[in-house]
Every structure is written in C-alpha cells, then in structure tokens.
C-alpha cells in the first residue's frame, strides 16, 4: 500500500468515526427533545466549532431542556444561571471573599462563580441589564475570567448556550452588537407541529420518562474540534464565503439591492470565520472531508442572521435578516 492510499484510508476512518460519534450524540439528545432537528444540529455544530450558541424563542419550547439534555449526553460539568434584572456580574464570574487563614489572620480568596464549568446555560440572558450581560464577554471570547488583577483560565471545552425571549416581550434588554457577534450561531426555536406535540405529551405526561446517557467526554470533544480544523477547503469556496459576508454590507460591490435598502452594517470577520468552520462541520456530518458551496449556504442563516444590523427603514418595515440572507444566496454567483 503506497503512502497516498494509506493517508486516504486514515482520512476515511477519521470521518467515519466522527460521523458515528455525532450520530450517537444526536440520537441520544433525540430521546428527550422532540423534533427541532435543525436546532440540535446547530447546537452540535457550535460545540464542535468551539463557539457559543444563542437560542431565541418564546417560553415553553424546550430551550432549557435541550441544554440540560446536552449536558447529560456529554460527560462534562454543567451549570445554569437564571438571568434576572437584579443579577450582578459577580453572580456570574465569582468574587474575592475575606476568609480566615490557619494562623488566625484574614486573606482574600477567590470564590468561583457558575461560569467555571464546561457547559453554561445562560437562561433568558436578555432579562438582565447590559452591565451583567457583558460579564460573559471575556469568558466567551478568551476562555478566561479577570477579577481584580488576577486572570483565571476556564477549563476546555467551554460552551455558553444562552436562551433569550423575543425582544418584543416585556422586560427584555437587547444584547449589544459586540456580544451578539461573539455567538457562533443564533438559532430560532419554532413552535412544534401537531405530531411533535403528541410525542411530547406521551413522553412528559406518562410514568415512563426517558433518561439520556453520556456518550462523549470533554476530551473527545476537544479532539473532534481538531479534526474539524483539518478539513480542507478550496480557495474558490473560501472566496464564495468572503463574498457572501461582503454582500451583507451595503457599501460593497457584492451587496444586493435589498442589502443597500435595509442594512446599516453587515457581518464582521468573525462571521466568515463561523461560515468556514460551520461548513467544515457540515461536510463531516455528511460524510465528506471537503467543503462545498452548498455547505456554506446551509449554515449562512444561523451564522450571519445576528450579525446584520438593520437601518431605520429595515426596522420600521419589520424586515427579517433571514430574508436578506435568502436574497444574497439567490443572487450571489458561485464564482467570479
């Protein structure tokens, strides 16, 4: 067997193992979460991409249950923070406490907050004030927390899954653009279908409740993230992703008429980084070790919908950023 054949066999084995592990995880989550296949896939993609996910939907659609189920399917630490208007930053990251030393003196000791976990559920994040929301910024971006003059590293994998209620609901504070940009995906949880509601009732109102089993460890997730980054992507497909990002800006050659009319500012470079990483994961989920243009299109809405800022006219007319992205997908040429 020559070297090329051997390398190909290794790649095929790696992809097969990756797909098998992900299907096990997806199936195990499915024992508790009914329907919502796109949401489950999006959450899994976010974890593998090393990012964080924002789930939006009205109360009662199972957002919190999804995160709890995920933590049970992964052998990692889990913590939950219920965001409220009176929540303070120290309630998230922790604080220095005065403790008594063995010699009878006094000293400061850092008491870790719930952010020191592998999976953090930030429940109803937009019910807290902007000051408290921003306490997560450093943790999400750098994987660390600074209190006073000391910086503490968070254990990997670290994943924030935040839920938020639609902004039209009473008592909500819009997340600032800088924080929205740090979310890998924004996923919209839709109301379940009639068949899904039947299944939900059968699982939640009977005396038999399914119990998810742990199928992956934190170390396995870290290794799977490395596999994702090794997936090759051609220059042409990478250029398509760049042009898609440019098309979200009203002042570029790639922008569509809809973008020029309704958008104030488009996605940041983090947006195209997300497009590439998510497309690599999608290729692996499909059993391929190469990215296609269809992969870029498939992940474009959750990757970019929260990174597009509408202008006054767009907000006044209630334009959905998904519609803008759909227009871009339809009009953007595959190559120049």
- Over residues 109-132, the mean pLDDT reads 84
pLDDT band at 20 (very low <50, low <70, confident <90, very high): confident
Give exposure, 255-274, as e/b (b: 16+ Cβ within 10 Å).
Answer: bbebbeebbeebbbebbbbb
Segment 141-159, tens digit of pLDDT: 888 888 877 888 888 888 8
Average pLDDT (274-282) is: 94
For the segment 237-257, the average pLDDT, to the nearest whole number, is 93
What confidence tier does 1 reach under pLDDT thresholds 50, 70, 90? very low
Tell me which architecture the domain covering 229-336 has in CATH. Answer: Orthogonal Bundle (1.10)
DSSP H helices, 32-112, are 37-48, 63-73, 90-93
- Average the pLDDT over each of 119-123, 197-201, 254-258 and give the range with the smallest value: 197-201
Per domain, the residue ranges of the chain are: 11-208, 229-336
Which residue did the predictor score with more confidence, 305 or 4? 305
Q: What are the beta bridge partners of residue 188? A: 56
pLDDT attached to residue 295: 95
DSSP 129-186: -HHHHGGGHHHHHHSEEEETTEEEEPPSS-EEEEEE--TTSTT--PPPHHHHTT-SEE
Mean pLDDT along residues 232-261: 93
Lowest mean pLDDT segment, chosen from 123-132, 188-197, 252-261, 266-275: 188-197
Domain 11-208 falls in which CATH fold?
Answer: Rossmann fold (3.40.50)
């Amino acid at each position: 067997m020559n070297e090329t054949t051997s390398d190909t066999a290794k790649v095929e084995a790696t992809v097969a193992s990756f797909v098998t592990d992900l299907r096990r995880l997806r199936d195990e989550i499915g024992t508790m979460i009914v329907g919502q296949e796109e949401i489950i896939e999006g959450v899994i993609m976010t974890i593998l991409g090393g990012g964080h996910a924002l789930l939006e939907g009205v109360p009662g659609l199972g957002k919190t249950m999804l995160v709890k189920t995920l933590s049970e399917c992964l052998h990692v630490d889990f913590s939950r923070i219920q965001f409220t208007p009176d929540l303070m930053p120290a309630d998230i990251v922790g604080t220095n406490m005065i403790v008594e030393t063995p010699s009878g003196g006094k000293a400061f000791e850092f008491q870790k907050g719930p952010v020191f976990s592998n999976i953090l559920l930030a429940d109803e994040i937009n019910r807290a004030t902007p000051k408290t929301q921003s306490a997560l910024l450093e943790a999400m971006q750098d994987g660390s927390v600074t209190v006073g003059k000391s910086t503490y590293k968070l254990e990997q994998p670290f994943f924030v899954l935040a839920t938020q209620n639609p902004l039209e609901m009473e008592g909500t504070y819009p997340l600032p653009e800088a924080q929205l940009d740090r979310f890998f995906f924004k996923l919209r949880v839709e109301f379940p279908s009639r068949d899904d509601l039947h299944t939900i009732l059968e699982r939640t109102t009977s005396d038999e409740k399914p119990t998810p089993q742990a199928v992956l460890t934190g170390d396995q997730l870290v290794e799977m993230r490395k596999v994702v980054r090794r997936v090759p992507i051609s220059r042409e497909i990478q250029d398509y992703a760049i042009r898609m990002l440019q098309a979200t800006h009203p002042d570029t050659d790639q922008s569509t008429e809809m973008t020029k009319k309704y958008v104030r500012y488009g996605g940041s470079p983090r947006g195209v980084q997300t497009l590439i990483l998510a497309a690599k994961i999608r290729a692996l989920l499909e059993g391929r070790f190469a990215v296609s243009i269809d992969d870029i299109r498939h992940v474009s809405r959750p990757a970019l919908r929260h990174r597009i800022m509408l202008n006054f006219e767009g907000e006044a007319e209630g334009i959905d950023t998904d519609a803008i992205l759909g227009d871009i997908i339809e009009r953007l040429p595959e190559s120049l």
